[in-house]
Structure 1
Amino acid sequence: MMKNRAGLLALLVLAIATILMVFFVMPRISDDGKDNAPTTASGDAAKTPASEPAKPAEDLATVATEKMGRLKAEAEKAAQALVSLFADGKVPAAEAYAGAKAEAEKALAALAALDVPEALEASLKETMTAARGNAEKALALLKTLPSDPAAAGAAIGTVVDALAGKAVTAPEAPAPQTEAPATTEQPAQAEAPATTGPIVPRFDVLRVEPDGSAVIAGNAEPGAKLEILDGDTVIFQTEVGISGDFAVILDKPLSPGDHSLQLRVTGKDGKPVTSEEVATISIPENGNGNLLAMVTRPGEASRVITAPETVNQADKKARVPAEETPAAQTAEAPQATAEPQNEATAQQPTEATKPAPAPEVQVSAVEIEGDRIFVAGTAAPGSAVRAWADDALIGAATADNTGHFVIEGTTALAVGDHTIRAELLDADGKVLVRASVPFNRPEGHQVAVVAQSKTAGAGQPEAMVPLDRATFETMRGSVGKAFGILQGLFADGKKPAAEEVAAARSATEIGLQSLIDYRLGAGVDSDYAQFVTQTAARARNALEALKALAADADAVREGLPKVAELINAVLEPLPAAAVAEAQTTAEKPAAQAAPNASTAPAAEPQAPAPAAEPAQAPTETAADAPKTIEQAPLTESKNTVIIRRGDTLWQISRRVYGLGVRYTTIYLANANKITNPDLIEPGQVFQVPHDALPNAEELHRKRLKGETID
């Protein structure tokens, strides 16, 4: 019993202690924790200002400067890494080039996106803005580089220059096509001080992307205001630096469609000067498809400057030296081809030239625009030709290396009958032979009349044969010269730069392709036609062998011997059976008239007034009358155009069909006259179909891929 009481007492004490703990002690501990919490929080709050003081303005400038320095260093490092791949003329592997280009693009994009806080002082803001602007320019140039490392190497340096804030001059990559026009213009500019003439702005670089982004570089009067015109609209303006070189990136991409860009500068005298060159650009819809950018200049064949990366390598090569190589060779190539022919025919009796069934000068077409008149015709290459409308002197010109000429002047011709006379002159300005052709001037501001190829006489079709041959032989000479340059790059164990090899190689490929595409006119003898066909087949073999070589210089060096054998076959002399008398007839006047190019045109401005010349004509006829060729009357044509200085198929197509890309319609309609759609000659007369071919644009794409169109 006592034991039970003691146990119950112990339990009671334990229960009381538990109650006290639960209801009194634990709540007390909880209340103490709550009382301490505000103190801790307030203490933390009090500590925060002390540990994180407000950031001073100086720190903002420091952070911005450090960020700019870091991004700039990364961009410079990436750009230099890309450049180093091309050191000592090396051409990197495509994978290495693509990787380095991607890294450089990433680094430049980061610097181009640099944020410039408004709170910074003016000098720092200016520095950061300049760094960002340089990165934007460098990035734009980087994006325009071709994907092929062999074609991109020469232009890599412009990216580094732009990033460093230097004035970006013409990249070396397109130099083969732009340097030649530049050097031909320099003498004229050197003489400028004597005449105080203005410096005409020019294009050196034109790079266009399918989305319309464009980079334009060139040269203009230092310190002048430069405007880029698209038609009549100013799309960009800046000030030319003290060097005269400029490089700009258009603020807004060009819209899809055709564009015609010109440069206009306004100097200190306030007089605007517009470039003679015109950049014609076609931007595809939605950034997909084919684009074309070409530059035309009066007196020179159009030259294709750039095209999108979707264009294959063959086309990219074709646009570099296609026009410049023939231009540099016209004085030399005819000599190389003409001499063997003269040797082959020198043993023939002079009677070969006495019978003259074919005229040495011929009027092909006359085009009239108001009071302006254009006379196109053919004569022996290098001949000096003078043209008259009735008794009014129109002007004079020299037949080009293909035998075409175009003479333009101003004279008012009323509706009705008139006569055009074209006279071939010797070195003293004496008339050697004259072609006379009547025509009836139709009503209208712009009209054209053309020669009747079928009824002009039996001799006239043959008169065109020597011109066809001169063209073909000039083309063969161009191939030989271009390939000779390519071989010379490797002479004596030399290791040429990648851009040199690319330029000479592409010039050779272009020449071979021209021979493949060449079509003879009507009336050519079978022996010569067979020779042309055989040469075209050999040119195709040589072109395939050359294109099969890798892009690096070592591969080209190893493959040259085999290609040389094929090129030699292409340049094989004309067989005796193919040397016709008509060619001898054409070459002899050419040799006689060669000196006339400088003397006859120089004497022409001193000629008496048009009324005085007819007084000489009767005397000339009575005493020592030159041979006069009476051509059949010219007939009106509503679908004929005379090619003038600076004309291109692209521009004609845009004017007639609304889109330049439809030029293939005109090309195919005149295939026997056009050896290269990008190189048409002043004085040629083309038929322009009323409607464009339904597949004209598809044919253009085929041609860009290097495929033959017919």
Structure 2
Amino acid sequence: MELLRNGEPFARVIADASGLFAFVPPPLPQGSHDLVLQTNVPEGKGRIRSAQSVTVVIGTDKKQAPLVTIAAPDQPTVVLSQPEEPAAAPSQPAHTVAAARQPDGSAPPPAAPAKRPEVRIFAVEAEGAGRLFVSGQAAPGATVRLYLNDAFVAPGGAGPDGRLSFAIGRGVKPGDYRVRLDDVDPVTGAVKSRAEVPFSVPQPPPVAVAGAPIGRATDAAGTTSRSAPSAPRSSDSPAQASDPAGPRESPASGTALALADPGQVVVPEVNTAIVARGDNLWRISKRVYGKGLRYTVIFGANTPQIRNPHLIYPGQVFVLPADEAQKR
């Protein structure tokens, strides 16, 4: 067996007769490292690489724990370890604090409760066929909502360890998005903390097809699209907010499914639309909802991307929420 670091052999070990093995590799240097396993079978039987990969990021402070994540096809990235924020040093020894008294001789007030952890986005990843994975962390048991371009996609919750992840099965078209997680009060909907990052879903690689028009290509799914360079993946860049979340919203997809892991939510599909030349909100609403008057649903879900409902631009990507009026 070989342990590959950024595609290069880093350590080797021989499995025993039962196929078991264990690595004790050399220490990893500072920086980012992508680790995978690879079989090195003799007698020309070929090599097989592990589907899972582990990313390790080691900072300059060797006393801090490294960032360690594990990724697998069709699964959200899981954070195994992360650097801890330094704890504030006490202003005086513990025994002195315990003995302190107020001027009137009464006992000191109780210590303030620990600050609630704010929601954070660890990773956003896109795969073919419109799949999108978002992973993060919040206070244990927190109620968290996922938004794309300000459109509510699905509710979820953090597990006992605070980890959470959303997996969208299909429907996320190539384009620019803002991925947002809101930690909300489950009763009032008030936002306790918020994290948002920009993310660009790249165009699928073009596949040459006989008879395709010059200058265009047909992708593997059979749809026609212009080729474009792939954009890099985005990672953690949290922001804060304390404004209320407003009324309950309709998700932009079907039913979100909670997995055995309480921090994982699967959204089978979302509906997105890429604005083409000549489009307007009325036409998109007529095409999607069957009624042009329902353009207000699209406008409300994609504000502030649509500052003026009469002005939309080719290439914009709108997330289309389920139209509750169609269900009545």
Verify same fold: TM over 0.5. Answer: no
Q: What TM-score, normalized by structure 1, do the two folds share?
A: 0.20
Q: Please state which structure has a larger fraction of its residues in strand.
A: 2
Larger Rg: 1
Q: What TM-score, normalized by structure 2, do the two folds share?
A: 0.37
Q: Please state which structure has a larger fraction of its residues in helix.
A: 1
